[in-house]
Chains A and B, each alone.
Chain A
Amino acid sequence: MLNKLIKYDFKSMFKNLMPLYLILIGFSILIRISGIAANHFSILKVPAGTLTILYIMLIFGSFIYTFIVSIKRFYTNILKDEGYLTNTLPVKKSNIVLSKILNSGIFLIITVLIIILALIISYFPNQEVVNIFNGLKNSIESLGYNFIVVLLFMIVYMLLGYLNYIQIIYTSLAFGQMHNSNKIVYSFVSGLIIYTVAQIFNLITLGLFIVIFPDTIDMVNTNSVTPSFFTQIFLYGMILQIIYFVAYYVITTVVLNKKLNLE
């Protein structure tokens, strides 16, 4: 059943995001053309520059839009009129929520890939980018780490971080809908509370981390960082994100199971 839920959430979100992807690709072609044109006719350099600024705004906007689509799907499918169908399907609520989370992740990845594709279309080949990339690769490897492993780790870490931000909104919406009126206000307040609690939890765990690994402070103070320092920090960060992921997921599911209040 989870697969079916994923399929339909995917279809719906794709319909919303497809126009964005087309615009991104289209704009990337435009940038490429304007770049070539500006090289031939210097009076076109200013318009080309303007286009570049728009391009950057578009790319940033794409992340925001992807985030919004992920939130919107959760909200309309579970908490609005569609909820009368979704919540009476013979499926587990936990799977309904999980499907939304997974699709949020999938579409973040797709958006990123489309942006990378767009950038390649607009600017490839670009020696500066290659230089930066190689520089990064070298410094990581000089610390004794495998570049691919670090890259994968960072991708997973950032993905989890993004999904946890999304989940904070999901959980807030779940708390908000419990009330009969002013649902948005309650959602907002819940969000603030959850965020604050998370920050406090961050501080507590940081304190614990320092207590368990006192050498970390020394390393930072004496500026003599060893490879294990990074490993500890990254593992600490990853474990924290995993804890949040599970916590938000469980709380959202429990609230939707026991305190659903559709209008």
Chain B
Amino acid sequence: MKTIQAVLGLIALVGIVSALVRYRAHRLSARAFWLWAGFWVAAGVLVFAPDLTTLLAHKLSVGRGADLTLYVGLLVGFYVIFRLYQRIENLERQITLLVREIALRKPRE
């Protein structure tokens, strides 16, 4: 086993355990849990069987396995940014609600 495989494998394991812990603590829906668990398991498998990416790449008409990994990585990156946007947007909404309550409670000028 190469060092990089050990490191990435450990990251995938931490990802799976983290998803499980969050699911058990009811901080993750069942759908989100299966999504994350599936992602980390797939990542773990691909770390130890990198040739699978080449096989998948050929099936999807992408030249090399490394390219496919990069594309999937980009998509996951976009998804994570979108989720972060949603979280920020939610915070913005909460701030607006707070500001609104303060505005409506104060005696009007």
A in complex with B: no
Chain A residues proximal to chain B, CB less than 8 Å? none
